[in-house]
Chains A and B, each alone.
Chain A
Amino acid sequence: MSKGLPETRTDAAMSELVPEPRPKPAVPMKPVSINSNLLGYIGIDTIIEQMRKKTMKTGFDFNIMVVGQSGLGKSTLVNTLFKSQVSRKASSWNREEKIPKTVEIKAIGHVIEEGGVKMKLTVIDTPGFGDQINNENCWEPIEKYINEQYEKFLKEEVNIARKKRIPDTRVHCCLYFISPTGHSLRPLDLEFMKHLSKVVNIIPVIAKADTMTLEEKSEFKQRVRKELEVNGIEFYPQKEFDEDLEDKTENDKIRQESMPFAVVGSDKEYQVNGKRVLGRKTPWGIIEVENLNHCEFALLRDFVIRTHLQDLKEVTHNIHYETYRAKRLNDNGGLPPGEGLLGTVLPPVPATPCPTAE
């Protein structure tokens, strides 16, 4: 009996808010490949040098978070990684200091320079994690902190008059310290990594690896890898972000053989074979931190600092931050969902159910 009414059209209402539709250039672009090597030098490759000079001038930010129960050697490891007294707490752990009742987040910024490259390094410590009797939801303050940093960045980005360089306090890398039990991961470990691997790059690290023999170490690592896989925990480098075949093979090797890195940290130096090396002195020998036969610290350091530092930052910016941003802009209803922030395309408003006309 009743004819159906056309769905509520949104086009007419949009004219005030919609800017002009995206115009196309006069002639559609047709990339034509021309190999200029044959015809003479132009100088395009100098852009690499230009870029490098610019970035050295601006400097870099790097924010690293360390998470793990007390006494696993987090502060020592950070000191060893950056070869300086980044965390003062390390060598003087005072028994009188109270273990915090909840997880605290302490971020301390440092400026280090090497080879003309200035880096602002922020180490975020999480004392109190996993130290309570009841550790339920102890990852929540950490997740909150990470999201707060994304929020801060988002607010700056969304401003009308933006700063020339938005200060980057987002956590680029989270080192999660696994206790070297030799058996498997603890429920707390799994819970933490499950929740946080979606918002930040997690690099699991087996702490105090000098308590395990080589066989125990490799078995433990295999078990840990298996458990992480079974639980669907994607640690950095995540499989889905491998860009090309080269990356994939390189990262596969790291994922399936080296990670999680079994490390030993130390900020004391000893004489070994005429060289001064960082190590731990025990009655049965000196454990050299940077010796690949003894522990995998050097691998961790090279991985995090020398090869993948920029990639850590990029994954944080292009993926984790974007995910947060998309969710935030969709959820709180502060902005119209759909493609255009300013309403270029709204999804059709769900068709109003026709009033039954009997």
Chain B
Amino acid sequence: MAVAVGRPSNEDLRNLSLSGHVGFDSLPDQLVNKSTSQGFCFNILCVGETGIGKSTLMDTLFNTKFENDPATHNEPGVRLKARSYELQESNVRLKLTIVDTVGFGDQINKDDSYKPIVEYIDAQFEAYLQEELKIKRSLFNYHDTRIHACLYFIAPTGHSLKSLDLVTMKKLDSKVNIIPIIAKADTIAKNELHKFKSKIMSELVSNGVQIYQFPTDEETVAEINATMSVHLPFAVVGSTEEVKIGNKMAKARQYPWGVVQVENENHCDFVKLREMLIRVNMEDLREQTHTRHYELYRRCKLEEMGFKDTDPDSKPFSLQETYEAKRNEFLGELQKKEEEMRQMFVMRVKEKEAELKEAEKELHEKFDLLKRTHQEEKKKVEDKKKELEEEVNNFQKKKAAAQLLQSQAQQAGAQQTKKDKDKKN
């Protein structure tokens, strides 16, 4: 984006006259050269019912066949399809993005049809805003995806605008440059067309829809813009097929009753649309998007988030003060949470510790118990052992005694038998 510069009018500036050629009249060229080397972005949003001729018109406008399969009528809701192309003409590189509304106007209940469109536009603004608010940002090579022009395709009923059209345009007019066009204009006869156009314009005015105003402040373009504005909305016919007219090939639609030439100004306003959209006002469309629509979005968004430029006493608030306050608030919250978590952690640790201590104690007790039991058993065993020994001793004694007795008895017996023997003899 070219850096916009301002000239404060209340400063005391001296007007100098140059006594020779300085050379800064090359400044616009320097600026343009820089922009050319970077390339330009242009994003068009096409809003219109399925089958109204959006893709064909884009093909015709940009003289190419963008690959596009025609959409079906069975879409459950409106969705936006964005496609980017790189076009080059002489040394100008253009990054063109065409956004299509698929499924618009096909549903039975169209209450929410406009929502995806508004969301998409807002999303592009949001992306730019996010980039702009970054600390480390790179705006100068940012791929601008904001919608610069919205072509609103009006169905050629010949009566008036549909309520869906009015509602949608009303929602979009503060967000994007709306250029209404009458599609498939070859279905309307010339006299009907004039009535249709004025009906549409008066409806737009009475409903307060702000369409894009071609700029008339600069002399070179004021004239052409003024004359063209009279023909709004442009009634266009799109065609990529070529038909031989005279001895040239021209883009046209062939009917049994004649040939509608796309680039013939008597047949339709295609040429006017191309002039206005591309050859005269492309830069203005980009500028309006940036300085009006984007700024409005930014202002609303920041106000929504609670930032203000002046506080209730209307002293200028520095945005940074607000940021600081919010940041401190946020940090405070974080700290509180941190504290809570820390406390919880400490508590848990304590609990766990207690548990483990309990377990330890239990184990110790068990161990003690076991030890005691063991000791007791040991003692019992020893006692038994002693008893046994005693018994053994007793037994041995008894045995000894018994043996003695026995031996005595034997001796006594032997003596007795001897005596008996002696007696017998």
Point out residues on A near B: beta carbons under 8 Å: 1-2, 5, 8, 10, 13, 17, 19-20, 22-23, 25-27, 29-37, 39-48, 50-62, 81-86, 108-112, 114-117, 119-121, 155, 158-168, 243-244, 301-302, 305-311, 313-314, 317-318, 322, 325-326, 329-330, 332-344, 349, 352, 354-355, 357
Contacts and interface: CB of A to CB of B under 8 A. Distances in A.
Contact of A25 (B30, B61, B80): B80
Interface stretch (B153-161, B280-288, B369-377, B386-394): B280-288
Give the interface residue-count category, chain B: 35 or more
Contacts of A5: 341, 345
Contacts of B352: 1-2, 357
B47 to A, nearest CB: 14
A128 to B, nearest CB: 23
Interface in B322-349: 323-324, 326-327, 330, 333-334, 337-338, 341-342, 345-346, 349
A357 B338 contact: no
B6 interface: yes
Nearest to A112: B16
Given A13-B334, A168-B5, A84 B16 contact: yes
Contacts of B313: none
Contact of B327 (A1, A110, A334): A334
Contacts of A56: 28
Most chain B beta carbons < 10 A, residue from A5, A110, A158: A158
Contacts of B337: 8, 13
B327 A311 contact: no
A41 B89 contact: yes
B25 A117 contact: yes
Contacts of A330: 135
19 contacts: A5-B345, A25-B82, A25-B145, A29-B82, A32-B67, A35-B88, A44-B40, A48-B32, A51-B35, A54-B283, A54-B284, A56-B28, A60-B27, A81-B22, A83-B19, A110-B13, A160-B308, A163-B6, A334-B320
The 8 lowest CB-CB distance pairs between A and B, nearest first, are A115-B25, A165-B6, A341-B133, A334-B320, A310-B30, A50-B283, A43-B279, A25-B82
Contacts of B419: none
B356 to A, nearest CB: 8
A338 B345 contact: no
Given A51-B35, A159-B319, A317 B2 contact: no
A257 to B, nearest CB: 21
Contacts of B282: 44, 46-47, 50
Contact of B89 (A37, A334, A340): A37
B130 A22 contact: yes
B85 interface: yes
A50 B280 contact: yes
A19 to B, nearest CB: 7
Contact of A26 (B36, B81, B220): B81
Given A25-B80, A34-B87, A340-B130, A61 B278 contact: no
B64 A19 contact: no
B239 to A, nearest CB: 13
A357 B354 CA distance: 12
Contact of B91 (A36, A45, A329): A45
Given A50-B280, A110-B13, A168-B6, A309 B64 contact: no
Nearest to B82: A25
A192 B203 CA distance: 67
Interface stretch (B120-128, B165-173, B225-233): B120-128
B80 to A, nearest CB: 5
A36 B278 contact: no
B341 A8 contact: yes
Most chain A beta carbons < 10 A, residue from B3, B63, B92, B133: B3
B72 interface: no
Interface string B1-24: 011111110011111111111111
B383 interface: no
Nearest to B19: A83
Nearest to B40: A47
Nearest to A319: B140
Interface in B236-261: none
B237 to A, nearest CB: 17
Nearest to A32: B85
B295 interface: yes
Contacts of B25: 114-117
A31 B85 contact: yes
Interface string B75-86: 000011111111
A86 B29 CA distance: 25
Contacts of A61: 5-7
A167 B6 contact: yes
A313 to B, nearest CB: 6
A37 B62 CA distance: 11
A252 B35 CA distance: 22
Given A29-B84, A30-B84, A36 B6 contact: no
Contacts of B267: none
Given A37-B89, A56-B28, A161 B309 contact: yes
Contact of B22 (A82, A161, A340): A82
B34 interface: yes
A108 B14 contact: yes
Contacts of B63: 36, 39-42
B327 A336 contact: yes
Interface in B290-311: 291, 295, 298-299, 301-303, 305, 307-309
A26 B4 contact: no
A115 to B, nearest CB: 3
A155 B91 contact: no
Given A82-B22, A326-B135, 20 more contacts: A31-B85, A31-B95, A36-B62, A43-B89, A45-B91, A53-B221, A55-B32, A59-B5, A82-B18, A83-B19, A83-B21, A119-B27, A161-B299, A166-B6, A301-B23, A310-B27, A329-B135, A330-B135, A342-B305, A355-B345
A149 B213 CA distance: 36
B26 A306 contact: yes
Nearest to A109: B13
B287 to A, nearest CB: 7
B140 A159 contact: no
Contacts of A115: 25
A2 B356 CA distance: 11
A18 to B, nearest CB: 10
A318 B7 CA distance: 21
Contact of A84 (B17, B88, B221, B287): B17
B141 to A, nearest CB: 9
A34 to B, nearest CB: 5
B355 to A, nearest CB: 11
